[in-house]
Chain A
């Protein structure tokens, strides 16, 4: 019970510490941090339009967070979510623009294609890790850059406008007008329900199936898994492949739900890296990921709101998010500190 409370208190402390250091950064640079945080809270909570934007922002973050967490729970570090996200995006756009199907089939098929593309991008580091013991962190970093260049290359050579793909067909669109009407015509779309669905699927898979149990065992102790007759190599490949599929899903939802096309990109979208942040803060639990994704989405949308930018640069909040991850990285220290406080409290 006590460890469960601490398990929840650690991410909360990390967020609070991040906000405090963020306040110090603003204070030192001569910005009014009280007004800044007030504007942030105000634009997050008092604006239906921003609420819609937050939901849209959270949609890919949830899936990317699930992707990273899935690998984490299996003992693997997938920094490649960004690349898998890109491959999912380009696959979804290709399927959404060039294949004509009834809506009922088009959307699910498009998502499947995107997940397959992401899965392929995760399979490569998976098979290299399983067969040649190549560390997945470096391979996935390199795969990110290859994905970025590959997507640009494909767009440049196959899209009519060269720097931009065509718009996806209506039959593949994730737009939901009733959601937009509810939120003052924000860019919210139906992808959020698909994200919710996958939160449940991943939770069920991880906690309730034999296969999920095997993956977690491999993550906790590879030797124990081997002695229990669990195929470690096989599961490493599965874990990174499924992780890649989830990141590919994030790409499909963001790209099809958001703009409905892709452009040549000079840099990363950052969704994959944010997925890492979400998974860490959410303690790799589907429910935690849901909360973390909404928290980061709210911070990001709040910080780009007009009211906040009047007071301080948007980047303050990006610094805060980086700090939260930093504090989660040194969570052992926070844990010791919390345990001391709790044991002192119970003595009295």
Chain B
């Protein structure tokens, strides 16, 4: 296998596996930059994934090729609504945010399986009829090198993931809304004295994380798994969480980390074709994201610092 062949195999696979992680990690960034720990990302992905599959199976005949796109939107809405439970518990009722996240992950797994069993009488759905298909841009794909690696055999959802990351970066770091959101996550009391509504801001941030987490799950089922069962989402939400931390709570950092972890995942799949990679036991590729995150948090590879008010419920008037 020549070097070019390797690039042609790895780069599309890398974008393919990274896209769901990018969306979900960005969701994590919004929630955590506003000061709310969100380990419910895993559960939000489940809700999004399950919703998208059910929508796709039910309406494939009605909407034809538009089905997966509509499925994404519906998944975003439902996961957004589900995330409000996290907001209710951790913002309004000042619950321990980690406990609330754990509870929602449990509920999401059980609820999605419950719905799948109720609708289809089995623990696994059928394969969706109209998934996203690979695209090639007519002229650009003829460009040497670039054409074959990034303009051919890609999914629109991967490109959109990059775009969403850039938008998230602009929103979070270049707009008044982003500034307020970050202020709430660093020093809520100070933000409140500047007239920022801490509660409302955190609700919005969690809602955004729910929408993006749901989108991540929906993209996963519409491109990678193509069905939903209890093992469909098993850890991707936590890898996204890891990407968020490794990316230092920065949208572009999170995107970069998600791409990096996607690379590790795709090497686990296509690596067996590549000399030099296939000698590495799959085990190392599988534990790579997790080990890297621990090292990043420990300061071995550039220290990751969490927002200062992360995990602390806001009580008005308390310093």
Contacts and interface: CB of A to CB of B under 8 A. Distances in A.
Interface residues of B, number: 46
Interface string A24-64: 01000111000000000000000000000000000000000
Interface string B182-199: 000000000000000000
B117 A313 contact: yes
A150 B103 contact: no
Contacts of B291: 142, 146
Interface string A126-158: 001000101101110111011001101100000
B118 interface: yes
Given A138-B293, A141-B39, A132 B298 contact: yes
A315 B287 contact: no
Given A145-B238, A313-B113, A326-B89, A277 B106 contact: yes
Interface stretch (A162-170, A203-211, A285-293, A317-325): A317-325
B99 A280 contact: yes
Nearest to B281: A153
A329 B89 contact: yes
A191 B284 CA distance: 35
A139 B242 CA distance: 10
Chain A's interface size range is 35 or more
Interface in A290-337: 313, 315-316, 318-319, 321-323, 325-326, 328-333
A218 to B, nearest CB: 18
Given A149-B283, A267-B231, A267-B234, A134 B102 contact: no
A273 B107 CA distance: 12
Contact of A138 (B88, B111, B114, B297): B297
A79 interface: yes
B294 A139 contact: yes
A330 B87 CA distance: 12
B82 to A, nearest CB: 12
A322 B43 CA distance: 12
Interface stretch (B90-98, B130-138, B160-168, B220-228): B90-98
B235 interface: yes
A136 to B, nearest CB: 10
A276 interface: yes
Contacts of B234: 266-268
Given A150-B287, A266-B231, A319 B117 contact: no
B294 A313 contact: no
A79 B88 CA distance: 22
A77 interface: yes
Interface in A330-348: 330-333
Given A141-B241, A149-B287, A333 B93 contact: yes
A326 B106 CA distance: 10
A273 B117 CA distance: 23
Contacts of B238: 141-142, 145
B103 A329 contact: yes
B279 to A, nearest CB: 15
Contacts of B286: 149
A329 B298 CA distance: 29
A329 B99 contact: yes
Contact of B104 (A316, A322, A332): A322
A319 B108 CA distance: 8
Nearest to B239: A145
Contacts of B115: 29
Q: Closest 7 CB pairs between A and B?
A: A318-B110, A322-B106, A322-B107, A325-B103, A315-B114, A142-B290, A329-B95
Given A79-B102, A138-B242, A149-B287, 15 more contacts: A29-B115, A138-B241, A141-B238, A142-B290, A142-B293, A145-B287, A146-B287, A266-B231, A267-B231, A318-B114, A321-B110, A325-B106, A326-B107, A329-B93, A330-B88
Interface of A: 25, 29-31, 77, 79, 128, 132, 134-135, 137-139, 141-143, 145-146, 149-150, 152-153, 266-268, 273, 276-277, 280, 313, 315-316, 318-319, 321-323, 325-326, 328-333
17 contacts: A29-B114, A29-B118, A31-B118, A128-B297, A132-B297, A138-B293, A145-B287, A146-B290, A150-B287, A273-B106, A315-B114, A321-B110, A323-B103, A323-B107, A326-B100, A326-B103, A326-B104
